[in-house]
């Protein structure tokens, strides 16, 4: 383990190590609730894929769709890129005896290309998962107009979570405040569904 840590901080491995540390810190903040896992994401349309509004961007949209971006969150894809890239960098520099940053950067180019293609196939099961989740959201129109209880605080800019009871069973929703902020434990009304941001819009509600 000590040898692995030493290798990880060698100059040729630092770029790959830095990316892996960034990914790990991101998921740590998601786990503790500081960020939603879709905070860093492409804004997509459920039917048309990633949107880069430029006449010359069709090829880029196609490339993003090929690598499943727009169908899974960016950070999920990046996670499956970072780990094989880091492992490949460690092994390539170890077996070539390289300790130079410049040569390490040259190794990273083919390693990165290989990692994104590997990530495409590793994320295929997640495409089905997130497609199913999107269908659940589309079928979740029954939540509109319902009263919910906020479980994680939300503002107009930051996602939270709320629970609404449908036929006696609790349904968990990703939510965003329509106005101002809504704290944990408060009651709110589900107003609309934002397909672009993939969350429900809620506003504070006080029962009369």
pLDDT at site 43: 45
Answer yes or no: is pLDDT of 103 > 90: yes
pLDDT at site 156: 87
pLDDT at site 206: 77
Give the separation between CA 40 and CA 26, rounded to whole angstroms.
Answer: 10
Give the separation between CA 18 and CA 9, rounded to whole angstroms.
Answer: 9
Adjacent-strand bridge partners of 190? 202
pLDDT at site 48: 43
**What are residue 82's phi and psi, to 5 degrees?**
-65, -45
Q: What percent of the chain has pLDDT over 90?
A: 38
C-beta separation of 164 from 146 below 8 A: yes
Mean pLDDT of 75-92: 94
Higher pLDDT, residue 80 or 48: 80
Give the separation between CA 208 and CA 202, rounded to whole angstroms.
Answer: 18
pLDDT digits (tens, 9 = 90+) for 12-26: 999 999 999 999 998
H/E/C letters for each residue in the chain?
Answer: CHHHHHHHCCHHHHHHHHHHHHHHHHHHHHHCCCCCCCCCCCCEECCCEECCCCCCCHHHHHHHHHCCECCECHHHHHHHHHHHHHHHHHHHHHHHCCCCHHHHHHHHHHHHHHHHHHHHHHCHHHHHHHHHHHHHHHHHHHHCCCEEEEEECEECCCCEEEEEEECCEEEEEEEEECCCEECCCCEEEEEEEECCCCEEEEEECCCC
pLDDT at site 132: 65
Give the separation between CA 71 and CA 37, rounded to whole angstroms.
Answer: 14
Answer yes or no: is pLDDT of 170 > 60: yes
Mean pLDDT of 138-145: 65
Higher pLDDT, residue 137 or 195: 195
C-beta separation of 202 from 190 below 8 A: yes
Confidence band for 174, pLDDT divided at 50, 70 and 90: confident
CA 119 to chain centre: 14
Answer yes or no: is pLDDT of 38 > 60: no
Mean pLDDT of 93-104: 94
SS3 13: helix
Pairing of strands 187-194, 169-177: unpaired
pLDDT at site 87: 96
Instruction: Look over the chain and give the mean of its residue pLDDT values, rounded to a whole number.
Output: 81
pLDDT at site 51: 44
């Amino acid at each position: 383990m000590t040898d692995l840590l030493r290798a990880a901080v060698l100059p040729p491995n630092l770029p790959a190590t830095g990316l892996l540390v960034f990914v790990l810190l991101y998921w740590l903040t998601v786990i503790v609730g500081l960020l939603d896992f879709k905070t860093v994401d492409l804004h997509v349309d459920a039917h048309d894929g990633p949107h880069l509004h430029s006449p010359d961007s069709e090829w880029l949209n196609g490339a993003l769709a090929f690598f499943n971006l727009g169908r899974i969150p960016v950070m999920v894809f990046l996670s499956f890129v970072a780990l094989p890239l880091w492992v490949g960098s460690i092994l390539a520099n170890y077996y070539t005896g390289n300790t130079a940053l410049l040569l390490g950067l040259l190794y990273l180019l083919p390693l990165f290309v290989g990692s994104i293609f590997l990530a495409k196939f590793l994320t295929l099961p997640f495409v089905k998962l997130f497609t199913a989740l999107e269908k659940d959201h589309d079928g979740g129109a029954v939540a509109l107009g319902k009263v919910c209880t906020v479980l994680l605080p939300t503002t107009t800019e930051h996602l939270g979570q709320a629970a609404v009871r449908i036929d006696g069973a609790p349904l968990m929703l990703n939510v965003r405040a329509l106005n101002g902020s809504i704290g944990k434990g408060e009651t709110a009304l589900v107003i609309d569904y934002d397909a672009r941001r993939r969350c429900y819009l809620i506003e504070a509600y006080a029962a009369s």
